[in-house]
Amino acid sequence: MNLSGAIDRAMDWTVVPGFSRIGYEVRRRSWEPQPSVLEGRDVLVTGASSGLGEAAAELLAGAGARVHMVVRNLEKGEDVRAAISERTGGGLRVWRCDVSDLDSVGELARSFTAEVGELAALVHNAGAMPPKRERSAQGIELTLATNVIGPFLLTGLILSSLRSGVPSRIISVSSGGMYTQGLNAEDLQLAGRDYDPSRFYAHSKRCEVILSELWAERLAGSGISAHAMHPGWADTPGLQASMPGFRRVTKPLLRSARQGADTIAWLAGDEQPGRSSGLFWQDRRPRPTHRTRSTKESEADRERLWQECERLSGWSIGASETSAANGGGRTAR
């Protein structure tokens, strides 16, 4: 079956067909099997002990990658690793890191880059949507710290491994909810707003998509491509915990975690996405990043987002480039 662009776009814009398992089942009929470029290569996946991260780790291991699973709970992570290894026969390793804690991110980056010289793909999947306003160990609003600032720092600190592993990819797992929010660059932590879990989460997911585009711009010509994606409505433990009402209503339409993670693994292992950078994907096709003019940000706001990420994380791409040119490693916080 050859799915026309018009039908695909119609499913996407009407939301329910495109985001649900219906869209996945229809679209996958037009996909042709492609050899993976990941055989024997290293891939790092955050939030890999459940949900989309676990499913992505299994798909990547099944494609022959050496998968590095970043988790907060080592015991749970080891149990998941053993189960995936038994099913796929793949090689996996577990690393502990709380992505919201910048000190923990720094420790992971130092250990990882010392042991893994070449990285084929970095998958930012770990996420948080706390029920009330909380702050990270460094005092950053927790949703932003987990979904944006921690991943930004991790990317910067392991750029050396991504550079050594070119062609390599940075993949950010966003959410279709980001369509509802524009970037608030002047108040990135939304300190001036009453806390609303879903709104704060959607705003952080908007930030992820913009940052993916900015990474693509800054790394152009380096052999490192950057992409963001959204998995559609997938039935994961995170959805069950944070949006139980939504899950009850939509359960017959929800995708499995494996269906939601398909595009993550495809972005990491297929040749096609390696020929582009800075795109936003769902079900193996690029998607628009805005649906209304009201969510569009200015170039000045995009630059302000990058600068604020540098300030909050303590990592600067300028300092990193200088260090790399001088033969150095990472820029410490």
**Catalytic residue set:** 201
SS3 58: helix
SS3 120: coil
Nearest to 219 by CA among 273, 263, 169, 289: 169
In DSSP terms, 124 is beta-bridged to 172
Please give the backbone phi and psi of residue 330, each rounded to the nearest 5 degrees, phi first.
-100, 160
- Rounded CA-CA distance 209/215 in Å is 10
SS3 136: coil
CA angle at 321 for the pair 325 and 311, rounded to the nearest 5° = 150
- Rounded CA-CA distance 28/98 in Å is 34
Q: How many Cα atoms occupy the beta-carbon half-sphere of 160 within 13 Å? A: 21
Task: With beta carbons less than 8 A apart as the criterion, state whether 69 and 77 touch.
Answer: yes
* DSSP one-letter code for 135: B
Q: What is the DSSP string of 284-311?
A: TEE--S-SSGGG---HHHHHHHHHHHHH
Task: With beta carbons less than 8 A apart as the criterion, state whether 11 and 217 touch.
Answer: no
* DSSP one-letter code for 36: -
